[in-house]
Chains A and B, each alone.
Chain A
């Protein structure tokens, strides 16, 4: 059986199933992170004292990861207009960047833990660990999805559709990271 419009565009909606599904997924994810950022705003606004992000966290780790994730996203973005033969190595490159991100993140966590910066110390750190942890889970899921697409033996149209969906996903993950970076490390 073939489900119609998995790869072909439907003329009256202007999209195919995979693209629409990914946009809906992102809408749902926006609400997930949106709720967490709203909680952050509410807790910070009502806090009697709030530690300064730049003085508590290490800006270096955050900056490195911002650059790594931006590079990762642009690599996946480039892969979307390529043939499967050219796109597969790009996705693997993206995955090595994803691994670097996760390694840097765990080094940072290690650094935090040795400095006794733990979630139960204050609400700022609680929010920091929750947001970055959930974001890191999204990076892990994205790396797994990249692998799944690289390994998948499907026709070219299907492959291209999957890479386009991946690109949307990574842009979303990148934007979430930038918001976390600004509100946690800078403000």
Chain B
């Protein structure tokens, strides 16, 4: 296997391994934070001593480093771990297989997109070794704070610039592959829901990311060329008037950032919906309930996601008219999510569900995403958002969507497609331990956040805000969260062991171990170069589960009809 390969399968695996490493890095960042919040004066065991004097005093995090960890945890998880895993890894590996294509439409651009992603990640991480450390103005990099931050912020901006290029190449590739390289007979409505989800996701990345690139260029100009795009007039820093022409608008950054930021939420969740839909159809042995409505909902959700961004900005004083508009659009966009999640739940009814490991993760996704989604409604209305803004309630809300939500879906996907990629199955018992351990530990971390947030606990306070009288009394819940996070980490070790052990010891499987219907299961495991011995022809829609009397197959006892078989 060549490192500089243009094969979409190799690139998909490169994306997968790199993003899993970033996932681990982002998780270590938060472990340090969790320890610090629970026991702010105790030195961090093991790693504390390695952090160095600039970052810790005798193993206790220093305030600046605490802020760097917070900003880089968010950045790493969203931009370098979850999206590249969902879109770069799953998308690259599976889309050509699912549409019956020999490769992506532009294989060389595909390789370039991976290497740019890696470069972007390294540039951002390099911030930790610059004087003043990494970016520390939150993952949202709000100016004027970010404008006057240390050099790490410049690394963050340069990394973001490169990352947007990478994401643009990947999404162009994805859209062209889906539209142009579909096998004969694979009409749009015959495409699996995962392909539809990736199609909408790619459009969101293509259209929503460039405004953040523009914002990054403007902030780089502010930091390097002394301009004042985001610097208001008369700004005082540390008691001194800042030397800048002024006249800029910090709110402009927020508009540009959230114009990406909100569609990004759907970039995080749509691939998860796609994976869960594939797995649920497979474990219930039934066609998806309301497939056409799900596709319509995904398209509507994608479109609406461009019209909701300012619900992140109710506190900027943009006025009741603007707030009113964005509240309405925000309430409207909850409808397609509910359609998709309801269709998935209804798909379960009447099925004889097979509780495989991917199935457990997919089923775990449903209530977790529901908690995350429903707790978001109060944040979409200005009256309730204003007191909850910047509290742990917000953190609880979006982590339920991306951590036990999207990450569970991604784990479901890893367990589900692992046999296709390696030709071996992952260990079931270890998989189940991984699921139940993660399920309990995730809730132990995130459930207390709602209560903390409702009591007013602010999201970014060093030492958990113990300096302030109002924020004392959270020690108990912070410690529950720290223990849960530690257990969550240990449970992931089971996954890592299982992942590598199964490469050699896993039970070997045939082409189609799950008796699934979509095209990727009709080639060998792992698929050969260029995927299919001959271009497949598609004869039916993606979920030919259940005994099909129309099938010419003599074995009517078989409960699935692959898309590629007549």
A contacts, CB < 8 Å to B: 1-6, 10, 13, 15-17, 20-21, 24-25, 27-29, 31-36, 39, 42-43, 46-48, 119-123, 126-127, 129-130, 134
Contact = CB atoms under 8 A, between A and B. Distances in A.
A78 to B, nearest CB: 27
Nearest to A120: B226
Interface in B119-177: 168, 171-173, 175-176
Contact of A25 (B105, B168, B218): B168
B37 to A, nearest CB: 37
Most buried by A among B107, B173, B209, B225: B225
A123 B210 contact: no
A17 B247 contact: no
Contacts of A48: 247
Q: Is the interface of A mostly helix, strand, loop or mixed?
A: helix
Interface string B227-245: 1110000000000000011
Interface of B: 101-107, 168, 171-173, 175-176, 179-181, 206-211, 213-215, 217-218, 221, 225-229, 244-245, 247-249, 252, 255-256, 259, 529-530
Closest 4 CB pairs of A and B: A120-B226, A126-B227, A35-B211, A35-B214
A43 B229 contact: yes
A27 B217 contact: no
A122 B210 contact: no
A27 B214 CA distance: 14
B229 A126 contact: yes
A4 B151 CA distance: 47
A136 to B, nearest CB: 13
A13 B179 CA distance: 7
Contacts of B217: 36, 130, 134
Most buried by B among A29, A42, A120: A120
A52 to B, nearest CB: 16
B106 A17 contact: yes
A123 B207 contact: no
B180 A31 contact: no
A121 B172 contact: no
B102 A39 contact: no
B181 A28 contact: no
Nearest to A31: B210
Contacts of B173: 21
Nearest to A29: B210
Contacts of B255: 42
A126 B252 CA distance: 15
9 contacts: A13-B179, A21-B176, A24-B171, A27-B206, A28-B210, A31-B210, A32-B214, A39-B218, A129-B221
A36 B214 contact: yes
A24 B176 contact: yes
B103 A35 contact: no
